[in-house]
Amino acid sequence: MTIDDLPRLRQDKTPAPHSVDAANPEAQRRARRYFAPSVQMFGRHPGYGGAIIGIEGRDHTLPSWSGFEEKAFKKFAGYPIPATIIGKTAPHFRTIADFPRTRIVADDYPLLVYYRWFWEQGDGYPTLNSLSADILRESGNKELWSFSDPAVRCPPKWGSGGSVDFLSQWTYCYPDPIKIAQATDELFAMAAGRPGQGVMKMTQAIWYREQTAPAKQTVTTPPAWATENPTTEFITIAPDLLKEAFWSKLSRPIAGIMYHGYGSLFNDIKITKESMYTMTNPESREVLKELVQTVVQPLGPTLKHLPARTSEVAILESFASTIFAGRGTWGWGRGWIADVHLMTQWAGLQPVIVYEETILRDRLVGIKVLVLPHCEVLPQAAFNAIRDFQRAGGILVGDEFTIPALLPNLRLASYTRTGDAVKDKAALQQMAAQFRQDLASVLTPYATSDNPDIVTYARAAGNADYIFAVNDKRTYGDYVGMYGLVMEKGLPNRGTVTVRRPAAAVYDPVRHQSVPFTVSDGVTAIPVEFTTSDGRLLMLTDAAVTAVKIAAIPEAGGVNVTVTVTDADGKPITADFPLEITVTAADGARLPASDYYRAANGVVHIAIPKFYQGAPFPWRIKAKDLASGLSGEQTVNGAE
């Protein structure tokens, strides 16, 4: 689709580079004219699974003076675009003559009204994304799906991505790989504004060399890849950090995972001036392959259905502070706000990110602690809700930037990174330890560890808990460590994960075995040990698995199979179990019904269609519970 002739226009009517005027009705007409035929042509091709909508076009958005936005805003607000509008954020509040001294702005303050409108719909991108997603849905192929990436490279305001099926965001996992969880939590905060919208997460398999191993920096012992590829701009993600970031994002209830940078994982493509991705570490692709085979494929059907446990600590990313004070992460996972999230992870507090809109809609129900990093400006309604939260007993945690009308119960001193990976991590972990101690009288985490380098996250289903434990103990290695910017080598580590509930059994679904544990005063303690940067999944149940039972009933239409994971009384255990089910014909052929499944509340039903019955009977059906490692078998003959 050609868009060069539909640029956004500055106030002087000159075109803005790299940005289409998505609010121009012609842009939307062209989207349908060119995209719809291609969807109809390729929509049922087996290699066409979905489409990325948007990419980085919105990075360059700004108010457009082409006439379309001006007309639309006046219709929306009843008055023209404020004269002080110059860019995609407002002038800094200190330069606005009539800005309230309290830094609390009325919800009908014209600049706030404009920027809320602009980012939710005004620049046209959410509408254009929704149109593109609708075109996919109109194809008739229900298997097609759409996603917007990078969806949170914008202010914290509902609406980014429009009505695509999934929001996603690519993340560079250096210098701290668990920062990927912060970007993931931002996606959930954004998707909260459109119930039913899913979240996926992409890891960058590429690393900017200048940010991890600068070519201009002289080191005593340069790595071999640097000598072999002296001009490369992008190198391969370090294998240990790939693994740690994988577990960090997988701990969240995401619907899918993605990786960008084929050329950094494989060297079977020609490197050109336009494509400077270079494969500098072949181990990384082997790590990813192993994770897909041992975690994603067997556990994916179950993990996609496990919601996160309700968090008690929320971090506000303020739209008003982003617009009027130049704050916000803009999806890059950098700066004080992102480091506060990182700090709360190291404190073992399982934070959730909220927007001003989230607070107004959900009223901070279930939240005990609200953290307000870089919260310099607030809308009146959001301020009122936060004040009421504190008056009702909620704990506010501010910093030196918090608006003067709020008096936080605790204050954090903001931290500015030095660029030294060791010093920065140590400083933030020290802050985390103090923060955890300061909150001890009001908050006891549901799941945590006794080691700040073992980061936990809890999800649940039925009467079971699923605790992720990620080892973040690292040092400088021989890949990029000599440059001092990233600790890319995972180290052995051990500790104890505690969960505030008694468990009858604890399982490791990746290793398919039970795990030693103790219970004291209603708290389950589980020792964990790591050899490198890695993750563990611990499944706590209220009954031990004693059997996997199979009932197979041949019928005219096929074979109906029911698999049940049972306790000592023969009853289904109220938990979601990952199962591997194989169906083998008499001639040894493996039937297509063989796959990985989720046994919701301990039970799964499978209908094996009649057209499989060309395979000779009897069929041997085997079901393995991937949590306990126990299996069951059943032989079935065809219907008469």
CA distance 418 to 569: 59
Stretch 436-451: mean pLDDT: 97
Report whether pLDDT(401) > 80.
yes
What's the pLDDT at 558?
82
Mean pLDDT of 208-212: 97
- Residue 40 binned pLDDT confidence (cut-offs 50, 70, 90): confident
User: 383: pLDDT confidence band, cut at 50, 70 and 90?
Assistant: very high
Omega before 307 cis (within 30°)?
no
- The per-residue pLDDT for 277 is 92
Asked if residue 447 has pLDDT above 70, the reply is yes
Q: Could you tell me what percentage of the chain is helix, strand and coil, using 3-state DSSP and rounding each to the nearest 5?
A: 30, 25, 45
Residue boundaries of the structural domains of the chain: 7-303, 314-438, 447-541, 547-636
**CATH 1.10.3470 matches 314-438:** no
Nearest to 169 by CA among 287, 55, 326: 55
Residues 6+ away with beta carbon under 8 Å from 126: 120, 159, 160, 161, 162
Q: What is the pLDDT of residue 470?
A: 98
d(CA 189, CA 530): 32
- Calculate what percentage of the chain has a pLDDT beyond 90: 89
Q: What is the pLDDT of residue 556?
A: 80
Instruction: Classify each residue of 376-395 as buried b or exposed e, where b means 16 or more C-beta atoms within 10 Å of its C-beta.
Output: bbbbbebbebbbebbeeebb
Question: Count of H helices and E strands in the chain?
Answer: 16, 35
Question: Would you put residue 116 in left (φ > 0), alpha (ψ -120 to 50) or beta?
Answer: alpha
For residue 271, the model assigns a pLDDT of: 57
Residue 273: its pLDDT value, please?
Answer: 53
Query: Where is mean pLDDT largest: 2-6, 170-174, 554-558?
Result: 170-174
Query: Quick check: do 447-541 and 547-636 share a fold?
Result: yes
Q: Which residues pair with 51 in a beta bridge?
A: 146
What is the pLDDT at residue 620? 96
Mean pLDDT of all residues in 565-582: 98
Listed residue (140, 447, 191, 464) closest to 302, CA to CA: 464
From residue 359, alpha-carbon distances to 61, 318, 352, 405 in Å are 27, 11, 12, 18
**Token pair of 207, please?**
């690393």
What's the pLDDT at 67?
Answer: 93
Highest CATH level, class, for 7-303: alpha beta
CA angle (56, 58, 62) in 5-degree steps: 145
31-40, 113-122, 184-193, 521-530: the lowest-pLDDT one: 31-40
Is 638's pLDDT higher than 80?
no
Q: Poorest-confidence range of 128-142, 160-174, 246-260, 563-577?
A: 128-142
Query: At 323, is the secondary structure helix, strand, or coil?
Result: helix
**pLDDT value of position 350:** 98
| Res. 428: pLDDT tops 70 | yes
Specify the DSSP class assigned to residue 590.
B
The H or E element that residue 40 is part of is helix 25-42
Mean pLDDT of 382-401: 98
Q: How many CB atoms within 10 Å of residue 134?
A: 15
What is the CATH architecture of 447-541?
Answer: Sandwich (2.60)
Q: What is the pLDDT of residue 2?
A: 54
Distance CA 51, CA 28 (A): 17
Q: Which parts of 204-305 fold into alpha helices (H)?
A: 209-212, 224-228, 239-250, 262-265, 283-291, 297-303
pLDDT, position 613 = 59
What is the chain's mean pLDDT, rounded?
Answer: 95
Averaged pLDDT, 549-574: 94
Query: Where in 333-377 does DSSP place strands (E)?
Result: 352-354, 369-371
CB-based contact 114:74 (threshold 8 Å): no
Mean pLDDT value across residues 215-224: 96
H or E element that contains 536: strand 535-541
Q: Which of 125, 250, 131, 129 is nearest to 199 (CA)?
A: 250
- So what's the pLDDT on residue 23? 92
CA–CA distances in Å: residue 168 to residues 74, 108, 146, 187, 337? 32, 32, 10, 7, 20
> Has residue 614 got a pLDDT over 90?
no
Alpha helix segments (H runs only) across 85-178: 110-117, 125-137
Evaluate whether 604 touches 598 at the Cβ level (below 8 Å).
yes
Tell me if 470 sits within 8 A of 247, measured CB to CB: yes
Confidence of residue 617 (pLDDT cuts 50, 70, 90): confident
581/522 Cα distance (integer angstroms):
35
Query: What residues contact residue 547 under an 8 Å CB cut-off, 6+ apart?
Result: 565, 566, 570, 630, 632
Q: Rounded distance, CA 96 to CA 84, Å?
A: 9
Question: Cα separation of 405 and 384, whole Å?
Answer: 11
For 379-409, the DSSP string reads EHHHHHHHHHHHHTTPEEEE-TTS-TT---S
Confidence of residue 267 (pLDDT cuts 50, 70, 90): confident
Q: Which fold has domain 547-636?
A: Immunoglobulin-like (2.60.40)
Task: Using the predicted structure, report yes or no on whether residue 412 has a pLDDT greater than 90.
Answer: yes
Q: How confident is the model at residue 106 (pLDDT cuts 50, 70, 90)?
A: very high
101-119 mean pLDDT: 98
Tell me the pTM.
0.96
Give the pLDDT confidence score for residue 272 in this predicted structure.
Answer: 57
Cα angle vertex 174, ends 186, 193, to 5°? 5
**Apex 403 CA angle, 398 and 407, nearest 5:** 55
